[in-house]
Amino acid sequence: MSNVSYYTAEGLKKLRGELKQLKDVERVKASRAIAEARDKGDLSENAEYDAAKEAQGMLEMRISKLEDSLAGARIIDESQMDSSKILVLSIVKIKNQTNGMEVTYTLVADGEADLAAGKISVNSPIGKGLLGKTVGDIAEIQVPNGVMKFDIIEISR
């Protein structure tokens, strides 16, 4: 049984595109690499064949994982979301109480997280600590070296 995962329309399109690429292009390349290695002779001492088979196994595992993700994927309807509290797809501006630094994050599903783009997973420690908070709240987030406190300054979509 697959778990339900929530995605933006853009994130779901990206996931489907990756799966199509893996099935239509990478799978063919893997089969070709195995065939070429097999043609080189004795399979018991053929490291190239072993590597090609291992690469194929990893590819099939990735395809299976993507198919499971897509089976449980749901698109988030942003128009139905409460913008007064932090939820998936909220854009939140927070201020670190320790150093006064302000940062803005967009909370997204695991598959769409990209810290460089300011997108953090709702399942990350910070994401979990922010969920459900409203402007003016203080989020206390457990991190490996203690507890960090953030003021919630602004929430938008």
Q: Catalogue all structural domains in the chain, each as residue range(s) with its CATH number.
A: 5-75 (1.10.287.180), 78-156 (3.10.50.30)
Average pLDDT, the chain: 87
The tens digit of pLDDT for each residue in 1-18 reads 447 777 778 888 888 999
Alpha-carbon distance of 103 to 154, in angstroms, equals 11
Residue 108 near residue 88 (C-beta atoms within 8 A): yes
Kindly report the pTM of this predicted structure.
Answer: 0.62
Residue 96 near residue 153 (C-beta atoms within 8 A): no
List the beta strands (DSSP E) in 19-145: 73-75, 91-96, 102-108, 119-121, 138-143
Closest CA to 107 of 146, 153, 157: 157
Amino acid at 82: D
Structure tokens at 17: 């595109």
The tens digit of pLDDT for each residue in 53-102 reads 999 999 999 999 889 888 888 787 666 666 788 888 889 999 999 999 99
Residue 97 near residue 151 (C-beta atoms within 8 A): yes
